[in-house]
């Protein structure tokens, strides 16, 4: 069925009519009874416009589960009450189907619990179940066994369809009961970065359509399906496999974290592409750069944070809004950890990504910048439907002029080139209800402080009040007790000029003084910004604050009791203004008491603006006494009365040690190992040279560190020639799996030969214990590899170390002493923690790196593999051990391997437990100290 969408005059030029894809119920606003619809500007929930301000997080990269997910979701929702209103989640097929046909969605793989937690927090979900995800994860998220299928992945190949369909059917059934309005899921992604068939690549559109049909027939029938593509293309909209919603992805800051100051230019064509590609669809970015991946030997994530910091967010995201992007998902907003063997070969353990919320869940200035932007988008209904009138360089500044039908004007300004890091002063000619003139009017200037972008407004309505213009940016507005309040900000010390379109009444200015005058019937306040200035006139209050002070402003919508209303995030929903805390998670009013939950990281002055019938205040369940302060807030002090905990010194504990490379001995008995006796691989790709197939995956070992023993008879061999591919997380082979031609390359030894002798007679292979029949179903298919200590289960809690040497007897049995030649030794210790439950103190294991010493280490904490360290190339030295995996109130068992790769041997110069932050928190704790996971006795005993 096709139909023409009748659009308003503003879009009369639109060249392409919206077409309802075949087989889809259609989600176009005005033509659909769905609760989730969209038009050319935004999504709608229940016919209310909705800017999607979303961040990506991967629940499976945080296996401690619900308490961690809830903490991140609350930080997202709080950061922009109400418009960091969505979280986008990839689910990972490979973690749920370690063996074909054995689906497992327990604990950290539980899709329903992700949706349930989001529902409780009140944050919407973009669900991206796969099958393929990429995300720098092993096999792009596919199960290891798929790499040995005699099928071409990502095509309509019968064997391939049989492989993915059970997982997608199950994923759809998890989504079904959580579709909006019954739950938080508003959009479901059918495939990632996937285009239609071409003459060179037939079968793609059919594959795509089969995924969509599978989702729809298993209950995903009330929300739009999307795809994420680098380039949306109008031809897609009507083809077989077309989805409802096209989103593009872009990484314009790129990935060079070693040169964080070297910026690329913003892309100014987005708006033109929208007009060309799909002008009738909300202009949506399903992945926009929120940080960067970092490879082995890279700069480290602090460098990535600097490259993609709050200035990047300021300049690049405002460029999106200037292009009418009203659906934006930032990849990543919280990265988490490549624990176990989750990482693809090229990247290391941390997936911090330089994101707004760091791996240890701490908040950054970028998080605060996003809060300012998201609140503005929410508050500015006119901006959501504004269109660009012009864009180009005026003076030294790039200006996009936008206007809404209401007459509201928006001027998105930035430096004309991103390599300009010095300040630029300028004036701007704007259209107002008093005509066209240049601002500032009173002799001041507007400043762009280096890499800064601003959205300046004219004729901006808030409640019954109206700003004629402002050279300070709008953060948010709300109406409280019949008074309209607006919060405006600019960097400290900048001159600002704000004109309120009414001058009658007595003007009262509290806090930092500003000048006031009346021009053409408008009240104009002006001056240099610092701290808080509060300007009151009649029923209007302006807060004009410096940007860093604005970071500490929170404007939470008051939580209501019914589920259905938790997603109603419109600006008319009652809210309060809170100033000061590190984090405000949520706010409710119960019988005249304002109940707040949040976190502080220092003694904090709490300032509140609440309805006048609120007389009592609670912070984290404790009553707080507040008094009227000089700024007209109710204010009081929240004492930060917690101390940094004393942590056990690993240098002082007893270590037990054992040789973990017995396989190197010539008389080692490998008769129980798998014999690599296949001569033709099941998969299409074959060996480059060598008689037997030696891909580890062929024999059921998919984890990434398998051992090979080659047997040969001759005595003339001078050496061995081995080609490895995509399979050495510790050794750094550059490609894992490449999907460019829909082919997954084999992993392991791709070719072998003996130099100057006959061939190997046999190859024996050993990987993780049990291969696809791995015993530890909780930690899952990728946790363990093939090292001796992993195969005997020495990493698991409760392992009995009988026969191991001890540092109490032999001082050399310590990772700080190490080995004096090549080899692998494993060290084990335990320590007890007893940390108060009201503090959030993320702990990490810190290595002192000695690049002159070539060794590799693996970290196991309580049976979970949480780190791979490379002394030679780094860069990661700090390995977060998340609460819930680490027991903050009990015993912890730590295993470290030390694999010395040179004849010099190796020692770990420094290895200590450190705290990376200290916060007084209201976050959810772990009922039993840790997430439930089996002991040695339960899975190996
Ligand atoms: C995108 C992809 C993501 C992730 C990202 C880079 O193209 O969709 O899964 O790999 O690149 O971090």
- Say which of 120, 169, 193, 909 is annotated catalytic: 193
- Residue 393's pLDDT is 96
Q: What is the pLDDT of residues 302-341, one digit of tens each?
A: 999 999 999 999 999 999 999 999 999 999 999 999 999 9
Does residue 281 surpass a pLDDT of 80? yes
State the residue for tokens 């007009």.
275
Cβ-contact 690, 751 below 8 angstroms: yes
- Residue 9's pLDDT is 29
Rounded to the nearest 10 degrees, the angle between the axes of helix 158-175 and helix 204-217 is: 30
Does residue 525 surpass a pLDDT of 70? yes
Query: Alpha-carbon distance 827 to 805, whole Å?
Result: 9
Of 287, 291, 294, the residue with max ligand 1 atoms within 8 A of its CB, to mutate for a pocket test, comes to: 287
110-136 mean pLDDT: 95
Query: Alpha-carbon distance 139 to 237, whole Å?
Result: 30
State the residue for tokens 């930092």.
512
Its pTM stands at 0.95
Query: Alpha-carbon distance 102 to 167, whole Å?
Result: 10
Annotate 860-881 with DSSP letters as a single string: EETTEEEEEEETTT----EEEE
Question: What are the structure tokens assigned to 91, written together?
Answer: 């689910």
Query: Alpha-carbon distance 308 to 293, whole Å?
Result: 11
| Better-predicted residue by pLDDT, 569 or 753 | 753
Question: What are the structure tokens assigned to 272, written together?
Answer: 């033109």
Q: Please give the sequence-ordered ranges of beta strands (E in DSSP) within 491-529, or none if there are none.
A: 495-500, 507-511, 515-519, 522-528
Residue nearest to atom 4 of ligand 1 (CA): 135
Among the ranges given (197-201, 520-524, 610-614), the one the predictor scored with the smallest mean pLDDT:
197-201
- Residue 19's pLDDT is 53
For residue 478, the cross-strand partners are: 485
- Say which of 287, 403, 473, 772 is annotated catalytic: 287
Q: What is the pLDDT of residues 261-274, one digit of tens each?
A: 999 999 999 999 99
Q: 266: CA distance to ligand 1 center in Å?
A: 19
- Residue 8's pLDDT is 29
Q: What is the pLDDT of residues 810-852, one digit of tens each?
A: 999 999 999 999 999 999 999 999 999 999 999 999 999 998 8
Does residue 206 surpass a pLDDT of 60? yes
Q: 739: CA distance to ligand 1 center in Å?
A: 13
The separation between CA 403 and the C-alpha centre of its own chain, rounded to angstroms, equals: 33
Q: Which helix (H) or strand (E) holds 538?
A: none
Q: What is the pLDDT of residues 640-667, one digit of tens each?
A: 999 999 999 999 999 999 999 999 998 9
Question: What are the structure tokens assigned to 904, written together?
Answer: 């010099």
- What is the Cβ-side half-sphere exposure of residue 149, based on CA atoms within 13 angstroms? 23
Query: Alpha-carbon distance 513 to 790, whole Å?
Result: 67
Confidence of residue 423 (pLDDT cuts 50, 70, 90): very high
DSSP 909: S
Of 55, 135, 251, the residue with max ligand 1 atoms within 8 A of its CB, to mutate for a pocket test, comes to: 135
Q: For residue 207, which of 226, 191, 187 has the smallest C-alpha distance?
A: 191
Confidence of residue 570 (pLDDT cuts 50, 70, 90): low
Residues in contact with ligand 1 (CB, 6 Å cut-off): 133-136, 192-193, 249, 287, 293, 331
Q: Which helix (H) or strand (E) holds 858?
A: strand 855-861
Q: What is the pLDDT of residues 41-67, one digit of tens each?
A: 999 999 989 999 999 999 999 999 999
Q: For residue 791, which of 775, 768, 765 has the smallest C-alpha distance?
A: 768
701-718 mean pLDDT: 87
924-941 mean pLDDT: 92
- Residue 79's pLDDT is 56
Q: Which helix (H) or strand (E) holds 545?
A: strand 540-546
Strand duo 387-394 + 325-334: pairing: unpaired
Confidence of residue 573 (pLDDT cuts 50, 70, 90): confident
Q: What is the pLDDT of residues 147-174, one digit of tens each?
A: 888 888 889 999 999 999 999 999 999 9
Average per-residue pLDDT for the chain: 91
CB-based contacts of 519, cutoff 8 Å, min separation 6: 441, 499
193 among known catalytic residues: yes
- Residue 744's pLDDT is 63
Q: Which helix (H) or strand (E) holds 288?
A: strand 283-289
Does residue 84 surpass a pLDDT of 70? no
Does residue 614 surpass a pLDDT of 50? yes
- Residue 726's pLDDT is 67
Backbone angles phi, psi at 506, to 5 degrees: -80, 135
- Residue 743's pLDDT is 43
Query: Alpha-carbon distance 776 to 72, whole Å?
Result: 27
Query: Alpha-carbon distance 887 to 733, whole Å?
Result: 35
């Amino acid at each position: 069925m096709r139909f023409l969408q009748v659009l308003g005059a503003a879009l009369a030029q639109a060249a392409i009519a919206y077409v309802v894809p075949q087989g889809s119920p259609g989600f176009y606003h005005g033509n659909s009874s769905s609760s989730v619809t969209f038009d050319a500007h935004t999504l709608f929930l229940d016919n209310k416009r909705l800017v999607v301000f979303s961040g990506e997080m991967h629940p499976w990269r945080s296996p401690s589960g619900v308490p961690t997910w809830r903490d991140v979701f609350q930080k997202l929702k709080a950061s922009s009450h109400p418009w960091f209103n969505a979280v986008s989640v990839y689910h990972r097929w490979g973690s749920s189907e370690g063996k074909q046909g054995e689906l497992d969605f327990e604990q950290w793989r539980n899709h329903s619990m992700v949706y349930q937690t989001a529902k409780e927090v009140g944050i919407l979900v973009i669900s991206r179940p796969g099958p393929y995800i990429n995300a720098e994860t092993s096999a792009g998220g596919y199960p290891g066994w798929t790499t040995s299928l005699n099928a071409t992945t990502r095509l309509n190949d019968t064997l391939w369809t049989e492989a993915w369909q059970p997982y997608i059917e199950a994923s759809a059934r998890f989504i079904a009961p959580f579709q909006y309005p019954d739950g938080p899921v508003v959009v479901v992604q059918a495939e990632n970065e996937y285009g239609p068939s071409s003459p060179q690549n037939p079968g793609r559109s059919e594959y795509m359509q089969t995924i969509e049909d599978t989702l729809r027939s298993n209950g995903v029938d009330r929300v739009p399906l999307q795809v994420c593509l680098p380039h949306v293309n109008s031809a897609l909209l009507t083809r077989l496999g077309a989805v409802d919603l096209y989103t593009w992805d872009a990484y314009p800051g790129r990935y060079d974290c070693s040169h964080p100051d070297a910026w690329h230019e913003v892309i100014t064509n987005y708006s033109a592409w929208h007009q060309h590609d799909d002008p009738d669809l909300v202009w949506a970015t399903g992945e926009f750069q929120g940080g960067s991946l970092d490879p082995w030997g890279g700069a480290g994530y602090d460098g990535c944070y600097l490259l993609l910091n709050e200035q990047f967010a300021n300049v690049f995201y405002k460029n999106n809004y200037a292009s009418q992007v009203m659906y934006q998902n930032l990849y990543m907003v919280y990265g988490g950890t490549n624990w176990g063997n989750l990482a693809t070969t090229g990247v290391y353990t941390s997936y911090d990504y330089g994101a707004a919320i760091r791996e240890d869940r701490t908040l950054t200035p970028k998080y605060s910048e996003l809060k300012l932007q998201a609140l503005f988008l929410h508050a500015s209904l006119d901006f959501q439907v504004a269109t660009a009138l012009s864009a180009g360089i005026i003076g030294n500044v790039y200006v996009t002029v936008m206007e809404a039908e209401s007459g509201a004007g928006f001027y998105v300004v930035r430096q004309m080139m991103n390599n300009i890091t010095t300040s630029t002063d300028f004036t701007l000619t704007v259209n107002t209800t008093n005509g066209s003139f240049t601002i500032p009017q009173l002799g001041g200037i507007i400043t762009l402080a280096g890499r800064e972008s601003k959205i300046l407004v004219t004729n901006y309505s808030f409640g019954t009040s109206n700003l004629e213009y402002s050279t300070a940016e709008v953060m948010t507005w709300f109406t409280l007790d019949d008074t309209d309040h607006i919060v405006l900000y600019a960097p400290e010390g900048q001159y600002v000029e704000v004109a309120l379109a009414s001058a009658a009444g007595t003007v009262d200015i509290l806090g930092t003084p500003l000048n006031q005058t009346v021009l053409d019937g408008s009240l104009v306040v002006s001056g240099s910004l610092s701290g808080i200035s509060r300007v009151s006139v009649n029923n209007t209050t302006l807060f004009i604050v410096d940007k860093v002070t604005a970071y500490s402003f929170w404007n939470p919508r008051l939580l209501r009791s019914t589920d259905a209303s938790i997603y109603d995030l419109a600006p008319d929903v009652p809210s309060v203004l809170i100033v000061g805390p590190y984090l405000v998670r949520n706010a409710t009013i119960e019988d005249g008491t304002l109940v707040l939950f949040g976190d502080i990281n220092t003694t904090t002055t709490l300032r509140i603006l609440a309805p006048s019938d609120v007389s009592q205040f609670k912070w984290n369940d404790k009553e707080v006494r507040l008094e009227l302060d000089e700024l007209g807030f109710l204010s009081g002090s929240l004492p930060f009365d917690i101390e940094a905990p004393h942590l056990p010194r690993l240098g002082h504990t007893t270590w037990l040690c054992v040789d973990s490379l017995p396989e190197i001995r010539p008389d080692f008995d490998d008769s129980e190992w798998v014999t690599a006796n296949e001569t033709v691989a099941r998969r299409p790709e074959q060996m480059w040279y060598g008689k037997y197939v030696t891909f580890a995956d062929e024999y059921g070992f998919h984890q990434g560190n398998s051992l090979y023993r080659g047997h040969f008879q001759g005595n003339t061999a001078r050496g061995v020639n081995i080609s490895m591919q995509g399979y050495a997380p510790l050794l750094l082979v550059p490609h894992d799996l490449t999907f460019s031609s829909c082919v997954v390359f084999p992993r392991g030894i791709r070719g072998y030969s003996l130099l100057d002798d006959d061939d190997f007679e046999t190859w024996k292979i050993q990987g993780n214990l049990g291969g696809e029949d791995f015993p530890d179903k909780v930690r899952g298919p990728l946790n363990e590899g093939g090292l001796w200590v992993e195969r005997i289960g020495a990493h698991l809690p409760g392992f009995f170390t009988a026969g191991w040497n001890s540092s109490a007897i032999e001082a050399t049995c310590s990772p700080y002493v190490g080995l004096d030649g090549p080899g692998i030794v494993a060290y084990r210790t335990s320590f007890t923690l007893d940390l108060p439950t009201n503090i959030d103190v993320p702990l990490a294991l810190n290595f002192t790196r000695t690049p002159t010493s070539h060794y590799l280490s693996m970290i196991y904490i309580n049976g979970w593999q949480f780190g791979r360290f490379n002394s030679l190339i780094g860069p990661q030295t700090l390995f977060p051990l998340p609460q819930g995996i680490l027991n903050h109130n009990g015993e912890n068992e730590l295993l470290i391997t030390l694999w010395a790769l040179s004849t010099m041997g190796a020692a770990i110069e420094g290895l200590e437990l450190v705290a990376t932050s200290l916060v007084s928190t209201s976050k959810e704790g772990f009922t039993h100290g840790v997430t439930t996971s089996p002991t040695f006795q339960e899975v190996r005993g």
